[in-house]
Chain A
Amino acid sequence: MSGYFGGVIVILSLNVILAYAIFLPVASGQLNLGGAAFQAVGAYTAGFLSTSYDLAVGPSLALSVLAGGLVALFFSFIILRTRSVYLVLATFAFSEFVSGVIVNIDALGGSVGLSVSTHISGTVVLVAAVIAAAIVLLFMQTRLGLATRAIHDDDLVSELMGIGVRWTRVIAFTLGGLLAGLAGGLYAFYFNFVDIQSFDAASSIYLLLFVLLGGTQTFWGPLVGAAFFTIVPELLRSAISAAPALAHALGVTGELDSSWRFIILGALTVAMMIVRPEGAITRIGLSRLQAALFPSRLRKRPA
């Protein structure tokens, strides 16, 4: 896979994996504002193992998944007592802490970054994204997946129904960490360069927002969010490069596309939170769509 569309598909694939990495904790009621840090753990694990120990891509990727999962497991344990606003803050603090630590480790290239020599093709990234999405899809259809959604809605009642709320939360968070680690490892091998600026607080915010805008009630929401926020910036980039006069007229200087991307996401977020805080894809919306497409399957029986 190569060329412009190949590149877009790789970014889309990475965004999809990351979207599910954030979706799993959110689906269990834990907002994760530190997604990029878990990705960074995976990326640096893969980068370090392949540059310092010449480890092959396969094992490096496996270990970066494991590293992301272990860090998430550890983190979700220590924050079990923290709730709501404090939880969001803890994930935020954690991501800042992780990038602060990584910058200070010389073996990881400090603030300069790490060059990774082995390259993987875009196809590998795409296949990984499909597998990751499939795993999440299956997970959401298990009893544990159902319990995850129940906890999101009402954790006290879930506990009273016999669900181990804490364990389920830890599992959801750890699964998210595994996926973020995977996205990190793939990132390192595809772009062949890892630096901490790529995993900053803004990336974490960006990630969380596109998952929330896609909608966290169903498996499809994160997918739609990731697709929308991969494709729209690309369209925007071509639109702006096609109309430089417009950009000039707006008095715009500096990094064009990335800033506009964030502004649009930000404005959309504000608007969506007012009109449709549950995100673009909702269960009600999906069941209406299903009813419209397959009217016979959902025929209402007389009461």
Chain B
Amino acid sequence: MLIVQQLINGVMLGAIYVTVALAFNLTVGILNFLNFTIPSVFMLAAVIAGAAEERGLPFGLSGPLSWSAALGVGLAAGLLASLLVERLTFRYLKTRYGDATEHAIPLVSSLGFLLVFQNLARLFFGTQPHSFTSPIADANLRVSGLIVSAPQLLSLAIALSIVVAVTWILRVTRIGRALRAIAENPDATLLMGVDVKRIVPVVFALAGVLCGVAAAIFAVNYGQVYSGMGDEIGNKAVAGMVLGGLGSIWGAVVGGLIVGVAETLSIQFLGGDSVQAVVWGLLLLALVLRPEGIFGHHAIGKGKL
């Protein structure tokens, strides 16, 4: 029964990883850009939402209006931050020689942004957790001895519906088709008359929104936000993404859930300090045995050779 409970908790935790991992996977899958700013965009959205809620912002609201509006502010912040990243890391970067480390220019640039976002948050919000009060945090369901909290269940539902929605967008809509075309062959897409410059921000906007949603899920579930959560949560989402496979949406889902479950199980059986070693050891093993991940697209990360 304990294991079942831990599995449930793991899946719920995984829902957050899934959402953030999906944001990663969109940029790496479509643009071949490993966007390391995503953990910090996730953190920024949460921390800004937290600050807005704490000060009764926006519009001087209070009560339930306040926290939902605050989450909206956080979401908008995530969106804006992600678009800013697009402007300054992806848009102007061109490779000149195509040598071994040049593919990493956008990646390096995103590491720079990661440092900026993280440390700005640290400066202006400190390192202590801010509590985030939401009225539904304490609602639990009990099913034959197992506890399932309502926000957790809601989170999982939201995460999965987002996955379905993104899949649908990519499969059915015109923008989605253009995005998939870019993922297949950026040069040919340009020739086909798709305006890549206009489409690329869509990917970043989606990633920003996903980070905002993940931040909201986190704030409501854990009742707190802090400037270090990008490192703690976001990096595990990276692990989930890679484990599932770069560029695969369902890979992000499976990978995120695996990491969530591995985390709760290792806390249960090996103690809290073991999480990091277990999660990253798992990922390292996966990278060595199957570099492209469980559902990975083997072409991603390959150069011109």
Contact flag (A, B; Cβ within 8 A): yes
Interface residues of A (CB under 8 A from B): 26, 28-31, 78-79, 81-86, 88-90, 92-94, 96-97, 99-101, 103-104, 110-111, 151-156, 201-202, 205-206, 208-209, 212, 216, 251-256, 258-260, 262-263, 265-270, 273-274, 277
Interface string of B259-289 (1 = CB under 8 A from A): 0000000000000011111111101100110
- B301 engages A84 (CB within 8 Å): yes
Interface string of B159-189 (1 = CB under 8 A from A): 0000000000000000000000000000000
List 7 A-B pairs, minimum CB-CB distance, nearest first.
A29-B100, A269-B112, A100-B276, A100-B277, A266-B115, A266-B116, A85-B301
Query: Within 8 Å of chain A (Cβ to Cβ): is B137?
Result: no
- B112 engages A268 (CB within 8 Å): yes
Contact of A90 among B117, B273, B287 (CB under 8 A): B287
Query: Within 8 Å of chain A (Cβ to Cβ): is B153?
Result: no
The prevalent SS among residues of B at the interface is: helix
> Can you list 21 A-B pairs, Cβ within 8 angstroms, ordered by A?
A29-B99, A29-B101, A84-B302, A85-B32, A86-B301, A89-B283, A93-B242, A97-B277, A97-B280, A97-B281, A97-B283, A100-B280, A101-B277, A103-B273, A104-B277, A206-B115, A209-B112, A263-B120, A266-B113, A266-B114, A274-B88
- A259 engages B119 (CB within 8 Å): yes
Nearest Cβ on chain A to B263's Cβ, whole angstroms: 12
Query: Within 8 Å of chain A (Cβ to Cβ): is B59?
Result: no
Contacts of B61 in A (CB 8 A): none
Contacts of A92 in B (CB 8 A): 238
Contact of A263 among B34, B119, B291 (CB under 8 A): B119
Nearest Cβ on chain B to A204's Cβ, whole angstroms: 10
Answer whether A31 and B101 are a contact pair too, CB < 8 Å, given A100-B274, A266-B112, A270-B109: yes
- Chain B interface, number of residues (Cβ within 8 angstroms): 60
Query: Within 8 Å of chain A (Cβ to Cβ): is B102?
Result: yes
- A270 engages B116 (CB within 8 Å): yes
Q: Whole-angstrom distance between the alpha carbons of A79 and B285 in the complex?
A: 10
- B114 engages A255 (CB within 8 Å): no
Q: Whole-angstrom distance between the alpha carbons of A186 and B92 in the complex?
A: 41
Nearest Cβ on chain A to B50's Cβ, whole angstroms: 15
Query: Within 8 Å of chain A (Cβ to Cβ): is B305?
Result: yes
Most buried by B among A26, A88, A111: A88
Find the A residue at minimum CB distance from B122: A259
Query: Within 8 Å of chain A (Cβ to Cβ): is B57?
Result: no
- B103 engages A86 (CB within 8 Å): no
Contacts of A96 in B (CB 8 A): 235, 276, 279-280
- B284 engages A259 (CB within 8 Å): no
- Other A-B contacts than A85-B300, A253-B123, 11 sampled, CB-CB below 8 A, are A31-B101, A82-B291, A85-B107, A89-B287, A93-B287, A94-B280, A100-B277, A153-B100, A202-B231, A252-B123, A262-B116
Q: Whole-angstrom distance between the alpha carbons of A170 and B3 in the complex?
A: 43
Query: Within 8 Å of chain A (Cβ to Cβ): is B217?
Result: no
Contact of A273 among B89, B117, B126, B278 (CB under 8 A): B89
Query: Within 8 Å of chain A (Cβ to Cβ): is B220?
Result: no
Contacts of A216 in B (CB 8 A): 101
- B112 engages A104 (CB within 8 Å): no
- A31 engages B104 (CB within 8 Å): yes
Q: Whole-angstrom distance between the alpha carbons of A11 and B11 in the complex?
A: 45
Find the A residue at minimum CB distance from B124: A251
Q: Whole-angstrom distance between the alpha carbons of A131 and B9 in the complex?
A: 53
Find the B residue at minimum CB distance from A204: B111
- B122 engages A255 (CB within 8 Å): yes
Contacts of A212 in B (CB 8 A): 108
Contacts of B117 in A (CB 8 A): 266
Nearest Cβ on chain B to A129's Cβ, whole angstroms: 25
Answer whether A254 and B127 are a contact pair too, CB < 8 Å, given A86-B287, A263-B115: yes
Query: Within 8 Å of chain A (Cβ to Cβ): is B303?
Result: yes
Nearest Cβ on chain A to B237's Cβ, whole angstroms: 13
Nearest Cβ on chain B to A225's Cβ, whole angstroms: 13
Residues from 57 to 75 in B contacting A, C-beta threshold 8 Å: none
Find the B residue at minimum CB distance from A80: B288
Q: Whole-angstrom distance between the alpha carbons of A201 and B111 in the complex?
A: 11
Answer whether A88 and B107 are a contact pair too, CB < 8 Å, given A93-B239, A97-B281, A216-B101: yes
Q: Whole-angstrom distance between the alpha carbons of A262 and B118 in the complex?
A: 9
Query: Within 8 Å of chain A (Cβ to Cβ): is B105?
Result: yes
Nearest Cβ on chain A to B163's Cβ, whole angstroms: 22
Nearest Cβ on chain A to B78's Cβ, whole angstroms: 18
Contacts of B242 in A (CB 8 A): 86, 89, 93
- A83 engages B302 (CB within 8 Å): yes
Contacts of B254 in A (CB 8 A): none
- B103 engages A111 (CB within 8 Å): no
Query: Within 8 Å of chain A (Cβ to Cβ): is B77?
Result: no
Answer whether A93 and B284 are a contact pair too, CB < 8 Å, given A84-B302, A104-B274, A153-B100: yes
- A84 engages B104 (CB within 8 Å): yes
Q: Whole-angstrom distance between the alpha carbons of A79 and B118 in the complex?
A: 30
Query: Within 8 Å of chain A (Cβ to Cβ): is B210?
Result: no
Nearest Cβ on chain B to A140's Cβ, whole angstroms: 16
Find the A residue at minimum CB distance from B116: A266
Find the B residue at minimum CB distance from A205: B111
